[in-house]
Chain A
Amino acid sequence: MKGFTRSGGKREDLQLVDGSKVAVIGGGPAGSFVSYFLLEMAERSGLELDVEIFEPRDFSCVAPKGCNMCGGIISETLVQNLAAEGINLPSTIVQRGIESYMLHMDVGSVRIETPVQEKRIGSVYRGAGPRDLKNSKWGSFDNHIEKLTVAKGARVTRERVVDVSLNGGRPKIAIKGGQPEPYDLLVVAVGVNSAVLKLFTENGQGYRRPQTTKTFITEYYLGEETIEKTLGDSMHVFLLNIPRLEFAAIIPKGDYASVCLLGESIDKELVKAFLDSPQVKACMPDDWSSDPRSCQCSPKISLGAANRPFADRLVFVGDCGVTRLYKDGIGAAYRTAKACATTAVFEGISEAAFRRHYWPVCRSISIDNSIGKLSFAVTRQIQKWQFARRALLRMTEKEQEDAGRRRDMSQVLWDMFTGSAPYQDIVTLAMHPRFLARLTWEMAVSALPFSRAEN
């Protein structure tokens, strides 16, 4: 079989050449980034590609039509990476620059300032905004990236893909009422909530979508002034001892606040327990009520990597391939999309090329997620033990009050909440003897009876 691939094509055929046609299913960040970088890499190597994105949704519309169901945080790392790529995010897209995180626990709250005293995290809406949005001064993030991709030369077809054929040769895709069209490369860049994935799980190609869990996202209209007075430019994160709640955050946007809950089997009771908690009420306006809500959804999020996310002429990027556990999904979409585009243009579009050059990026995210699961297991314990929460609070408060002090706990929490660093880096810092010694001391002090009484 030397010189041939599993699908029977000659290896030299499995390269993108002038005029090659690429279909990208999904026009969210993963789809737009992969198209953008395919065209960018092709331009660098003097290649002309025909890239067509299939995306039925118009992201300039309000939810649910234009929404991509996400908390909408652009991490510090992604903001910097995009700037280095020449993609700057204007204030017409970024609803609010985040300059600090407020950690709320039953034992108290502490503000964690950005290490560089600069706004490098952005809160955005993936679509135009919540369902009841009237006039918005801000545009959609997904729409912005899509426009950049179109300016690079990609075409967008606002149709849903209803059929995919992968039987040898070139992949064929069909839209509603259309004939199947062949492409040289098919990139699948849809979310785990997309019905399109069924077309791949049921065709015997071996693709299996990642494991998922349900989240809960709701939006509250508060108005720009109220947000300024209450939530400010801080993302509010909560470590509360509420069973099944893994992580919760309130993200300030332009006129709205997004409430995001992650955890096991999130249901109405869990949502109510969180929204009714004194910690949530304390950071919302006095007259705020948890009902009515402007918008809400319970999307699934990926918990791991897909099985076999590539084959000859076929590759899965973003959430349907692999994404980061709980955080920085858009950052993971950027990384996998760029690795996919670089592989396709410079190394080829065979299964072997994707396995050798694309899969290592997915695998490193996947391995990091395993470390992330361990980090969240530790966080769960902290949520359960009040003395551990007090120790965490004391350690962070001391660091934030004293400018000269090492900010190890602040750094660990900052990286954990923002998704700015790989989980591996967070664990490495948290396993440092200096950090462990300080934490052990604070835990011992926090467990003493007088410390409990103080609280």
Chain B
Amino acid sequence: MGKGDLGKSYSDGEVITRQGDVGNCMYVIQQGKVQVLVERDGVETPLRVANEGEFLGEMAIFDHEERSATLRSLGEARLLTIDKKNFLKRIHKDPSLAVGLVRTMSKRVRDLSDEVARLKGNVERE
């Protein structure tokens, strides 16, 4: 990690946060890539790869649920955490601060809708 690097570095394959953990922060990727995956019955299913600048774990800011996915560093990655409590306080004072998150979540809903449509199409064709 360079002297001017902000955040925390993770080595290749290191778990940043695990599915089922209680989340009290979200992450912003400063450098590198992160694998998002879900674990079910001991089997890991990769969902997608998140890139530099992306928000991750943002659902924890707004709900009290457990983490829905595991985040694992893909190669060396550096992430900055944003604390839930302080961030919510700041959003309360400046709601426009949440626009970036809303945009991210809206894009994810759109991507998920496309994915559901694609899977439905596959099922119907079979």
Contacts and interface: CB of A to CB of B under 8 A. Distances in A.
B30 interface: yes
Contacts of A90: 4
Contacts of B30: 88
Contacts of B81: 116, 118, 120
B55 to A, nearest CB: 8
A84 B4 CA distance: 19
Contact of A86 (B7, B8, B100): B100
Interface stretch (B38-46, B89-97, B111-119): B89-97
Contacts of B83: 80, 116
B97 A89 contact: no
A389 interface: no
Task: Say what secondary structure dominates the interface of chain B.
Answer: mixed
B28 interface: yes
B97 A120 contact: no
A89 B30 CA distance: 8
A93 interface: yes
Interface residues of B, number: 23
Nearest to A137: B4
A374 to B, nearest CB: 22
A97 B96 CA distance: 27
Chain B CB within 10 A, most for which of A81, A95, A233: A81
Interface string A121-136: 0100000000000000
Given A117-B8, A118-B81, A224 B97 contact: no
Interface string B24-42: 0000101000000000000
Nearest to A74: B6
A92 B4 CA distance: 7
Contacts of A83: 28, 80, 82
Interface size class of A (residues with CB under 8 A): 35 or more
Interface string B51-84: 0010000000000000000000000000011110
Contacts of B6: 79, 89, 91, 94, 97, 119-120, 122
A311 B105 CA distance: 39
Given A80-B87, A118-B7, A91 B82 contact: no
B99 interface: yes
Chain B CB within 10 A, most for which of A79, A119, A342: A119
Interface in A388-441: none
Contact of A224 (B3, B5, B96): B3
B4 A138 contact: yes
Contacts of A339: 94
Given A86-B100, A120-B80, A94 B5 contact: yes
A338 interface: yes
Interface of B: 2-8, 28, 30, 53, 80-83, 86-87, 90, 94, 96-97, 99-101
22 contacts: A41-B96, A80-B86, A80-B87, A83-B28, A83-B80, A84-B28, A84-B87, A84-B97, A85-B97, A86-B100, A88-B30, A91-B4, A92-B4, A94-B5, A97-B7, A118-B8, A118-B81, A122-B6, A228-B3, A335-B94, A338-B94, A339-B94
